[in-house]
Structure formats: C-alpha cells, structure tokens
Amino acid sequence: MQLRARYATQTTHTDSQGHYIFAAVQGGVYVLRAEMTGYSDAEIPSLFLGPSESKTADLILPPINKSASQATSRAEEFFDQPQFTVAGVTDTTSYGGHGSDTITRTRDTLAKETVSLSKTPAGATRSAASETEKSLRERLEREPSSFEANHRLGKLLAENGKAREAIPYLERAAELKPGDYENTYDLALANAQAGNYERARHHAQALLAHYDKAELHHLLGDVQEKLGNSLDAVREYQRAAALDPSEPHLFDWGSELLLHHAPEPALEVFTQGNRLFPRSVRLLIGLGAAWFAQGAFDQAVEKICQASDMNPNDSIPYLFLGTMQSAETTPSQAVVEKLHRFVALQPDNAEANYYYAVGWWKLRRGLQDAASAAQVESFLRKAIDVDPKFGDAYLQLGILHSEQQDYVAAITDYQQAIQADPQMEQAHYRLAQAYRHTGDVAKAEAELRAFDQVAKESAQQAERERHEIRKFVYTLRDQPQPQTR
C-alpha cells in the first residue's frame, strides 16, 4: 500500500486479511494506491483527510486477465454463485400467485415493505454538520477555486439531505479536477438523491469505464430502477454483490428480485445472505417474505419469528407477522404469541393492539367464545383510542359485532372505518350486509354501489402498479423446487 502526497510518500503492507494502516498522517489530499503480484493495481486518486481525521478506505484489486463477469477472489471465497439467471421482463398483469386475491395483495405489500427496509437515515448529527457547513462556506468565500472546499461542502450537503444545494459545489469541484473518482461518485449520488436520474447514470457509467467497483454498480442499480430499467437494475445489484457480498448489497439484490415477482431467486439470495450475516434482521425478514411469496406460510412465519427474537423491541418483524396473519385464514399460535409479546412491550402502539386482537380473534374457539370476544374488543378499542383514524380496527370491530348479531353497533363501526378510509372495499360491502339485516334495503343498495365503484378503482390501481413493476423472467439451474404446504 502506498499513500502519496506532494510533500511525502508512505508505504505499508497489508496483513493476511488485507488490513492495513497508515499512522500519523497529516490532514490533506492523498493518492492511495495498492499493488499485488497477479492483480491489477487499484487507486483512489484523491483521498481527503481533515486535521486529526481517521478514515477507512477499501481497495479491490481485480485479478489480471479475469473477465468482468466473474467474481473477485473475495467473492469466490465467501459467496456462492447464483443458481438462477434473470433473462428478461414481461409486462403481463396476469402473473400467477398462490391463493386468493387477498394473499396476492399481501404478497405484493410484503415485497414493497421489504424494499423499504433498505432506506437508512443519515448518521451525522444536525448540530455538528451545521457547524462544519458554516466553516466550509467561510473557507469558500476566501478560496472559491479550492477543489477540496467545494467537494467537501457538496458532499456534506448531500449527506444531510440537501442534494440539490450540493450539486453546484460538486460540479464546480469537477471543473477544477475532472475525473476525480470521489467527487464524481458524490456528484452521481447527489443527482440520484435529487431525482436527476439521467445525470446520475451518466456519471456512474463514466466511472465504471475505469473502475469496476461495487459501490458504483449498486448506485447504478438504484438509478436504473428509478428509470424503470428493472432488468439492468437487478444485474447491477448482482454485480455489486459479487464484487462485495456485504449485507446491504445482498439485501438490495434480493429485494429487487422479490419486488419483481421472482421469489425463488430472491429466496436463494436471502438464504445466502442469512448464511453470511446470521444476525441481520432484515435479511431474515426478506427470507420470510420470499417464503410467503411462494405460499410457504409456515416457513415464512419461522424466519420472521426468528427476526423478532433478535431484537424484541423492534416493531418491524411484528408488523410483517401481522400483515401475513391478516391474509391467512388458518390461525397460527406462534404468530399470536409473538404479537402478544409485541403488545406487552409496546402497550400504546395501535398496530400492536390491532394485530394481537386479530390474532386472538382467529384463534377463538367459536362464535360462542364470549370471553375471547371481550378480550378482542378491548384490544381493538385500545388501538382506536391510540389512533382514532385506524380504519382497519373499526372494520374488525364491526366484523366482531356482526358475528354477535349486534348490527346496529356494526353499522356504526363500518361507518367509522369508511370515514377513516373511504376506499376500504370490505367496509362498504359489510356495511351493505349490516343494513340488509336491519331491513334498510335502500341504504344497503347504495353501499353496494359504492362497493362496486371502489372495487373497480382498486382493480384499476392494482393493474397500473403491476404494469409499473414488471415481472422478471428467470430460469433456475440445478436447484430443486422448494416445498410449499
């Protein structure tokens, strides 16, 4: 390893694991270069260090004469090559799925919620960032042509959610030092954050012409997905994971497959990810969502229950369990036990109360189980007390009262559900049935017309979403079909 500045050069050797350190390095701009027999050199042309700052920098040395489609030696050691190939996409909206339309919708919801887990908040504190921003702006007033000051201010602004404000500084830095890797990468990232996806793709592809780096492929995957190029996106995520099989890269690759209705490849990726990172909650959640997408409810529950055990105070695994439970007619004692822990740990969480109530309702011993019905109602009312606009809780309360043949109370519940969410199909339909039981035929027919209209709009929205999220066409190689119940 060689660290070079205009005034000095330091050289060090890595250990057997590839770790290295440069001690007592002054603040400034350095060139970091790595060399190894049998491998191409790797270099960071501009590495910035502030006074007393410590920084970690990773360099990947690709083997000489090894094609770009092959994984690096680190990937070969820790990462199994996939046993599937994504060959294309299709715009069909009649893709298959197990079970009812409710389960299909739940499968799609779980896929979207899994993808959302890849979003992580910025780590810098606002107060510290604000102080640094002030000092950098003062420096730029004194040195408007400073590459370092323009780059550092642009990078800082982008890291703190000010991507549009960051871009002019990063562009100015690019004018001052064209081809600088770190600045060009930050410029691509800022454009992606600002929604300038074509510009972001241009900058990322320009860098990839010279650097085959995991972070570049991952960024380009994000950008291609935003541009609607889902096949290109999944290939970029796969390349990023091959170069660097880290937890984020594996998770995003698996999530992309799951989002585009390729549950078997997603299951393979999440399984490998779980093997490499057994303490990752979100990889376990992704694994559970992939099992659910294949109709394997028991396996899905098992994985997400494991995720909930890792950090019992984390709400996310319980919410996945609750969503899956809502789509299944067969009650699960294991799910209800976890949801009981959820509500015990977070008694003022509306969703905790609601999902536990639904679980208990499904486990009741029959319509005459008055004790269970009373407990279910108490948790539903607690959920409504916490969130007075919780439409699903009102709907479930109406279902409970309808079972008890208290149609007057049920009508009020369904009306409250519709007030909270006018597009709730089931509330309109059940309200119509409750009106029929009370003899109010005119209101029943009006609610059925409302139900028909909402159902039509919902179907149209679902079809639009299915066109937007195209299905991957994939083939499996030498892999047995997973068993489903």
Instruction: Please state the domain extents for the chain.
Output: 2-49, 104-295
How many contiguous H segments (helices) and E segments (strands) does the chain have? 21, 6
The pLDDT value given to residue 332: 82
What sign does the dihedral 69-60-225-480 (CA atoms) show? positive
CA distance 432 to 441: 9
pLDDT at 301 over 60: yes
The pLDDT value given to residue 124: 38
- Per-residue model confidence as pLDDT tens digits over 123-179: 334 444 555 888 989 899 999 999 999 999 999 999 999 999 999 999 999 999 998
Q: Is 279 left (phi over 0), alpha (psi -120 to 50) or beta?
A: alpha
pLDDT at 239 over 70: yes
In whole numbers, what is the pLDDT of the chain averaged over residues? 84
The answer to which of 18-32, 62-76, 304-318, 355-369 has the lowest mean pLDDT is 62-76
The answer to which of 190-194, 258-262, 457-461 has the lowest mean pLDDT is 457-461
CA distance 81 to 62: 17
**What class is the 104-295 domain?**
mainly alpha
Three-class DSSP category at 384: helix
Inter-residue contact 290 to 266 (CB < 8 Å): yes
Residues in the chain: 485
Q: Tell me which of 13 and 59 has the higher pLDDT.
A: 13
Cα–Cα distances in angstroms (integers) from residue 124 to residues 54, 121, 155, 165, 354, in the given order: 16, 9, 12, 17, 35
pLDDT at 65 over 50: no
Phi and psi of 143, rounded to 5°? -130, 70
Phi and psi of 34, rounded to 5°? -125, 140
CA distance 350 to 322: 12
> E strands of 171-277, at which residues?
none
Q: What is the DSSP string of 72-92?
A: PHHHHHH-PPPSEEEEEEE--
The pLDDT value given to residue 363: 85
The pLDDT value given to residue 64: 57
- Tell me what the mean pLDDT of segment 45-71 comes to: 58
DSSP H/E element including 382: helix 370-386
Exposure class string for 181-195: b at 16+ Cβ within 10 A, else e:
bbbbbbbbbbbbbbe
The pLDDT value given to residue 241: 94
Inter-residue contact 153 to 167 (CB < 8 Å): no
- Tell me what the mean pLDDT of segment 338-363 comes to: 94
- Per-residue model confidence as pLDDT tens digits over 373-414: 999 999 999 999 999 999 999 999 999 999 999 999 999 999
Q: Tell me which of 95 and 485 has the higher pLDDT.
A: 95
Phi and psi of 283, rounded to 5°? -65, -40
The pLDDT value given to residue 123: 35
Contacts of 214 by beta carbon, 8 Å cutoff, 6+ apart: 60, 239, 240, 241, 243, 244, 246, 249
Q: Tell me which of 33 and 217 has the higher pLDDT.
A: 217
Three-class DSSP category at 10: strand
CA distance 341 to 346: 8
Bridge partners for 44 per DSSP: 32
Contacts of 278 by beta carbon, 8 Å cutoff, 6+ apart: none
- Per-residue model confidence as pLDDT tens digits over 67-126: 434 434 444 445 677 888 887 887 654 444 444 567 788 888 888 899 888 864 333 344
The answer to which of 51-65, 201-215, 262-276 has the lowest mean pLDDT is 51-65
CA distance 58 to 44: 9
Nearest by Cα to 357 from 382, 324, 388: 382
